[in-house]
Chains A and B, each alone.
Chain A
């Protein structure tokens, strides 16, 4: 079953708390992504990971960091969450290459109060 799983699906945190978003995939894809989406906007790339411990910044990495210690697992960490990080976060994975189909999780709705 080809699946990208995100946990948790919904999360409420206070400003200044640390946040951990977890993502797993069962397709052995080398490449994994974290995106965020705000109302009326397209998806914005936060980080991309080309494989274990091979991560690169996307368009909006400030305030985020990532960890990939196993190929099937990719974490997004917010150290000291801010209210402007309230958003829906999507994890995704794909095979190598810009033409490959990207598989997405269902998203995590994070609210920072």
Chain B
């Protein structure tokens, strides 16, 4: 079946430094899944950060970027300069096509920002 892997359970980055959170996927049923990053800020529900549905394209939001790399089956999340307000748990997810509603989730990466 499909799967999403986030290898780091927790990442610590100093404020104003760059960030990368790794996400790789396996989509056995369809070669071109839809890819998402969701974020949970403390005390809040999960919310969509960005999505990309076309291989090779880049999505961006709130200073974060992720590129849909079909060859590497990756969708890493990057930010050039993190702020304390970015402290949250980030989840990578995929869905298949437009008719399958089920999202397959990674286990999440907690981002801690050091002042």
Do A and B share a complex? Answer: yes
Residue positions of A touching B, CB distance < 8 A? 4, 31, 33, 40-45, 48, 50, 58, 90, 92, 94, 97-99, 101-107
Contacting pair B45 A106 (CB below 8 A) = yes
The verdict on B59 contacting chain A, using a C-beta distance below 8 Å, is no
Contacting pair A98 B99 (CB below 8 A) = yes
Bound together, the chains give a CA A107 to CA B103 distance in angstroms of 17
Question: In which size bucket is the chain B interface?
Answer: 20 to 34
Bound together, the chains give a CA A92 to CA B36 distance in angstroms of 15
Bound together, the chains give a CA A101 to CA B49 distance in angstroms of 10
Contacting pair B95 A98 (CB below 8 A) = yes
Nearest to A30 among chain B residues (CB) is B101
Nearest to B43 among chain A residues (CB) is A106
Main secondary structure of the interface of B (DSSP, over half): loop
Interface bits B7-36 vs A (CB < 8 Å: 1, else 0)? 001000000000000000000000000100
Shortest beta-carbon distance, B98 to chain A, in Å? 5
Contact A4-B91, Cβ < 8 Å, known A40-B107, A42-B4: no
Shortest beta-carbon distance, A3 to chain B, in Å? 9
Partner of A42, one of B44, B51, B53, B108: B108
